Structure 1
Amino acid sequence: MNKLLLLSFICLFSYSLRAQGDRSVKSDSVSLSEMIQVIESNSNKMFSYKKEWIEGVKVAQSWSIEDDFESQLEQLLSHTRLTFYAMGDYVILLNNKEIISEPLIVNSFKEGREVDGLNSEEIVFAQEKRNKDLGVEETLIEIGNRKLYVNGERSTIAGYVLESESGDPVPDAYVYIESPFTGTTTDEEGFYSLNVPNGRRNILIQSVNMKNTYRKLMVYSDGRLDVNLQVDVIALNSVVVSAEREANTKSPQMGMTKIKPENMKIVPALLGEKDMVKVATTTAGVQYLGEGSAGINIRGGKADQNLFLLDGAPVYNTNHFFGFFSVFNSEALSGMELYKSAIPAEYGGRLSSVFDISSKKPSQEKFKGAGGIGPVTSKFMLEGPTFKNGPTFMVGGRATYSDYVLNKIKDSPLKNNDVSFYDVIAKIDHDINDNNSVSVTGYFSHDSFQLSSDTLLSYTDFSYQNKLLTANWRHVFNDRLQADFQVGYSQYDYNIGYDLLPTQAFRIDYGVKQSQLSAKFDYFVSEKLNYKFGLQAKHTSVTPGVKTPTGSESLILRDEVGDEQGLELAPYVSALYSPSDKISVEGGVRLSVFNVLGPGEVNQYAEGLPIDPNSRIGSNEYGNNEIIETYWGPEFRLSSRYSLNQTSSVKASYNRTRQNIHLLLNSASIAPTDMWRLSNAHIKPQIADQFSVGYYKNFYGKHMVEASAEVYYKQIQNLLDFKVGADLQFNKAIETDLLQGPGKSYGVELSLRKSSGWLTGWVNYTYSRSLIQLDGDFPDEIINGGNYFPTGYDKPHYINSVTNYKFTRRFTMTLNVVYATGIPTTYPTGKYNYQGSENLLYSERNAYRIPDYFRVDLGINIEGNHKIKKLAHSFWSFSVYNLLGRDNVYSTFFRVEEGEVKGYKMSVFPTPIPTITYNFTF
């Protein structure tokens, strides 16, 4: 009775009585406030509510004064979060609350039911006692619309996990409920979506370097929950990966490695640089060729079979300084995902792997910076807001001054030469509202070097540039559907030249340009089912070579190899289905349609004869954008996981990939003589089918040690190689020097990793074979008798280990060890005299190997104190590259001198190289 009197007093105080009318009111999508005014003016009803509750609420209703008032009002509010309590002519509106005059438990006594039989989740009291002194973890948060609550059903909770101080997203945070156990992780924007049973739930959130937190929820229906996490100062003292400790056994994805900035603390800073891509080369199945290399090899694949993406746009040359550094400034990156198998359907264009690299989201709250100063490179990065509620920005750069390194080495082709590089990255990011965000990323890098002599090539000047610009719009349609729309442009230019003799001075320019559009959708149906689908369009143009004279004395004539261009369209769809905690299956298909476009000239060769200059009978001309050839086919992706128990699982996967751009690489030289060519009428796309099976186990303490074993087999169609004596430079009929045949690779990857404690690190062993068969119809198309033989990057045994020991919270030491079987090479086995000239007789191709590769690196980090209120945090990094000074051979070559065959080896950095770097953040 007291409650009724109180409510009556509130209503009488707020409104006066109105005269009752007897006419009908018609409404078609009007605001609720207008509707209430009309009802009040035509009846004696009076409403009481808070203005903010009904702002923006629209209703569409036919209202009759003569019909039942409460039934019509209930229908009017049926699609809103509002409820009402009617007391005579007074109506009190409530926001997602319900006044229960006789609770359910009272009804149960009246009906003679047992109280113990009631479900506590069914007893929802309208007035909940709130203590304003309770923290956010102890306050009950209501999710969804109370009127849509159905006991026993499930609802979707979605939102963003952000750092409380800066407002930055927290990627890879673990969001879960314990009973029944259901969990997920946030993406790089901090977004998550979790399907949970309705009712009272506790949701827990964990992330590296953040304080764990939880929220008490009352889940009525689908709704949103954003969570702010506080930085855990203690967690700054060590690398803790607890949020993803079970991901290796719970996720259906196999052959995937996530690398974050904190992972780089474990690996020695090579020449003073913490490099995210170099960290990837210390993981299982990723083989680093050594100093001066043109890239990395993954599971028996060529260097050009790896797709490097920066914010979704490709980067064609990923090396600085003869392979010592990658072109990515790790200070400006938020993380990298490496896929070696079970490649998701949204990726395409390469056979072996995908490096999906993301730039960091700039700080929204305050200015931050980081940098480093060393004897080889210096770097700097700045980020922060532009103005209140405006876009945020990030800009970073690196540069080298290489004299220190070049003067330290002895007996190397690099000594007394000039090498330099720099790179710049910039990003603008803006969160328009909760459902829309946009970002623009720009990147530029430049490398140049001059060699006084190159043992194998007659060039002196080299330079190359990467350019990239990409714009991304992310839109959240609702809690279940979100999309990313992207437009991007990438360009790679490579130049070589010669200027020792003014009359022979020239320059050759090469280039690759790619423009792309993509739309990616992520549809979360339930905790058991998730769809991804989209479309990608890529236009690629290649400049195979333009030769121009340099200097007024040059007698070289201008010449060029015709440009190539192609257009690829690739729709895709995939689904992740988890019928139970034990089983997850993900399947998808990507359809690749590649059109070779004109203008162009396609050489024609006589049937029944080998493809060589002597069999050319003419050519066909094609106009601009005219289709020369079309290659298309589906790319199937399938992966599955079966959990044996809480700590172990087995996985299997299959994927088909297609590649329409090819790198013709002379691996015998330290100069990166990159020549990209597209598939055309004579060069077919490369196609690979890979099968993988793996076993994963976590053990020791709180699952601190992760162990895995993966077996794979890859079959390749149209693998590229060269004829004997092939001349690739400025070749206008490149098909006359190329061969294509089947290839295969297979292997085993064993990995053991410890991610917490004073001693952390990992050790990997990879057994990998990479073979090719060239068995054509003519003698010059048959290599090694038509049998399978090792490719030039076949390295059966590869061992790498990284060990990090933390002596104190500020003093750590790391050791990096790499051992690899020497790469195949071809040796002379005799000599013969032909027309008065003495020539070498060589063995079968790749029948021998250069000496095995072995290197040890040492790193020591000394950090400053971890006080929060400091102008800047800093640490010193000491490192020694090639600690043992091993003279690792890069390549070998042979010459006939005075009738005697003499062999020579090429080593790039045969001596230890110590560096010291000062790093800081503020």
Structure 2
Amino acid sequence: MKNIITILSFILIVKISLGNPNKIIIALHFNNNNFVEFTEYIHSKTNVKIFYSDPSLSELRVSINTDSISVYDALAFVLKETDFKVQVWHNNLIIAKSKMLISELPPYVDAKNNDTVKSITEEITEIEKRYLVGRKPDVIEQITIGKNQNGNKVVKTKIKGKITDKETGEPIIGATINIEELGLGGVTNENGILNIAVNSGKYNVRFDCLGYSTKKFLFEILSDGEFETQLEKAVISIQEVTVKADRKTNITTKSPGMEKITPKNIKEIPMMMGERDIIKVSETLPGIVSVGEGSAGLNVRGGGSDQNLFYINKVPIYNTFHVFGFFPAFNSDIIKDFSIYKGYIPAQYGGRLSSIFNVITKQGNRKNFTARGGINPITANLTVEGPIKKDTSTILLSARSSYSDWILAKINEPTIRNSNSNFYDISALYNRDINKNNQLGLFYYQSNDYFKFSTISTNSYSNLGASINWRHTFT
């Protein structure tokens, strides 16, 4: 009887070993063969099923030459240069990029037994603490950056990120990243790009930007790499804020004398005949005053109106108003950022004695085509934007024109009735992401003003300019 039990036990052990992919030995001789042929051969010889869903594996080429290797080790060898992992599941193999499958439930712990809970808590190692921190409930998603080329060795890495608006796909200026464990951070530039150097490892990362919802991730940084994320717009409710002056406060900003007018502030500008005048709103800032009523110029900190320089997407604009100051030369619907330098002039803008007014336009909606416009008794405007290729290239077109002669024709005074006044301006922008490190931007601007005072005088002036902007990120 004892011998029979021993034989049955031996048969059972052999059967279990034969069904385990870690124990099944096979000879493999493949030279640049298709991965599908490789898996079918293993299944025909060992009856081990191999499951995977990623279509890219079908294009993988396999080269292996050995007379004795386990099925599990063979697949691990073939996939070692990829991001895929081999996992055993019920004596079959699963290939996926996800973490290891859970094969059993954790042991039950009675919460009423305080001694047991305390002893388990005390036994948590540093690695387990890092894992628990990485699995906080508010961490929504994990992002893996780079490839595991250095094993468990900690290396210095360079990370490049891009943050965009989820609704329009446009890059977000001034979004911040904060790595909680290291106390490090960064800010996106005008193209939504940020760069940061950090050691490899796992970190809790938070993204913030005024007007957008905070977003949290678990970053697993393996080597140099890139990532991209999107933020959603949000309405933020705050309590009452009290602003107090402090004479001991030191000026620590690196850009003294620079003022910014945000898109939100632009939308709050009162309209004059259906048009928002972003130039006039600058007069509410310290040190900027109008030349006089009915005049189009600005005096900045005592300088003359001809000592200011206006840029729109790096194109200088010399006539910044229409109809002698009643309408601005810029359509507020296409403006993304408006900066005024009145304390110092950066070298990149050339020499000007008083100030620089720098206008940056939107890049265009990367998700959907949109159109908006307005009409009033004197002028009409239309703006169209959208993707040529979704998330890759965009176009933005804007046009404005006046038709005020019908009003002049109704005035009884003959001199005014025989006068003419009209203007138009056109803006066109094309933006394309050539690849992750190169972006191309083309911009065109044209405007014209014409005024005829009966037969007494005629006045005409115009702007015409274009710019090509090639942005390259060195990594």
- For 1:288 and 1:10, the matched residues in 2 are separated by 84
Query: Conserved in 2, the CA contact under 8 Å of 1:47 and 1:93?
Result: no
Cα distance change of structure 1 residues 10 and 72 upon mapping to structure 2, 3 Å threshold: closer
Q: TM-score, normalised by structure 2?
A: 0.67
CA contact (8 A) 1:144 1:222 kept: yes
**What's 1:280 paired with?**
282
Match of 1:182 among 181, 184, 203: 184
Residues 77 and 301 (structure 1 numbering): CA distance in 2 closer, same or farther, change over 3 Å? farther
2:172 — aligned with what? Answer: 170
| Counterpart in the other structure of 1:308 | 310
- Counterpart-to-counterpart distance in 1, 2:33 and 2:298: 63
- CA drift of 1:295 comes to 3.6
The 3 A distance-change label for structure 1 pair 10 and 230 is farther
Q: 1:340 to 1:96 in 2, by over 3 A?
A: farther
Aligned partners of 1:194, 1:294: CA distance in 2, in Å? 45
**Selected match of 1:118 from 126, 131, 136:** 126
Q: Deviations over 1:389-438 (max 9, x none)?
A: 7854322222234579989xxxxx99995432111222334445555544
2:467 to 462, 467, 470: 470
Which residue number corresponds to residue 255 of structure 1?
257
Match of 1:791 in 2: none
Structure 1: any 5+ residue segments left out of the alignment? 102-113, 241-247, 408-412, 454-458, 474-483, 485-520, 525-922
Cα distance in structure 1, aligned partners of 2:338 and 2:389: 30
Measure the CA separation in 1 of the matches of 2:33 and 2:259. 52
Go from structure 1 to structure 2 and tell me whether the alpha carbon gap of 1:415 and 1:121 turns closer, same or farther (over 3 Å shift).
Answer: farther
5 Å-filtered alignment, 1:605-754, equals none
State the match for 2:331 in structure 1: 329
Q: 1:52 to 1:463 in 2, by over 3 A?
A: same
- Superposed CA RMSD in Å reads 5.3
How far apart are 1:203 and its partner, in Å? 2.5
Return the alpha-carbon distance in structure 2 between the equivalents of residues 6 and 203 of structure 1: 45
Whole-angstrom distance in 2 between the partners of 1:341 and 1:398? 33
Residues 140, 522 of structure 1: CA spacing in aligned structure 2 closer, same or farther, 3 A cutoff? closer
- Aligned partners of 1:368, 1:249: CA distance in 2, in Å? 42
* Cα pair 1:31 1:57 within 8 Å, conserved: no
Cα distance change of structure 1 residues 334 and 56 upon mapping to structure 2, 3 Å threshold: farther
**How many angstroms does 1:451 deviate by?**
3.8
Residue 316 (structure 1) shift: 2.7
Per residue, is there more helix in 1 or in 2?
2
Equivalent pair of 2:163/2:229 in contact (CA under 8 Å)? yes
- Give the aligned partner of residue 452 of structure 2: 450
Structure-2 residue corresponding to 1:348: 350
The answer to whether the Cα contact below 8 Å between 1:96 and 1:146 also exists between their aligned partners in 2 is no
Q: Hey, what's the Cα distance between the residues in 2 that align with 1:324 and 1:193?
A: 44
Give how far 1:86 is off. 10
Structure 2 partner of 1:377: 379
Match of 2:145 in 1: 143
Q: Is 1:440 aligned to residue 437 of structure 2?
A: no
- Of Structure 1 and Structure 2, which has the larger fraction of its residues in strand? 1
Unaligned runs of 5+ in 2: 1-14, 104-121, 242-249, 410-414
Return closer, same or farther for 1:406/1:255 CA change in 2, 3 Å cut-off.
farther
Name the SS of the counterpart of 1:331 in structure 2. Answer: helix
2:458 aligned partner: 461
Match of 1:420 among 416, 419, 422: 422
Please report how far the alpha carbon of residue 209 of structure 1 lies from its aligned counterpart in structure 2 after TM superposition: 3.7
Taking the aligned partners of 2:462 and 2:230, their CA distance within structure 1 comes to 41
In structure 2, the CA distance between the partners of 1:152 and 1:291, relative to structure 1 (3 Å rule), is farther
Q: How far apart, CA to CA, are the structure 2 residues paired with 1:316 and 1:219?
A: 49
CA contact 2:269–2:281 (8 Å) conserved in 1: yes
Shift of the 151–275 alpha-carbon distance from structure 1 to 2, 3 Å rule, reads farther
Task: Tell me if structure 2 keeps the 8 A contact 1:291–1:322.
Answer: no
AA aligned to 2:464 is K
> C-alpha distance in 2, partners of 1:33/1:424?
57
How many matched pairs?
A: 420
Distance 1:91 1:252, change over 3 A: farther
Give the whole-Å Cα distance in 2 for the aligned partners of 1:162 and 1:145: 24
On the 8 A contact 1:375/1:404 being kept in 2, the answer is no
Give the C-alpha shift of residue 363 in structure 1.
1.9
Structure 1 residue 213 corresponds to structure 2 residue 210: no
Q: Report Cα offsets for 1:779-811 as digits up to 9, x if no partner.
A: xxxxxxxxxxxxxxxxxxxxxxxxxxxxxxxxx
Per-residue displacement from partner, 1:274-299 (whole Å, max 9, x unpaired)? 12233333323334323454643444
Contact 1:291–1:323, Cα closer than 8 Å, also in 2: no
In the alignment, is residue 201 of structure 1 matched against residue 203 of structure 2? yes
Q: Secondary structure at the match of 1:354?
A: strand
Show the counterpart of 1:368: 370
Separation (CA, whole Å) in 2 of partners of 1:75 and 1:19: 14
In 2, distance between residues paired with 1:56 and 1:6?
Answer: 31
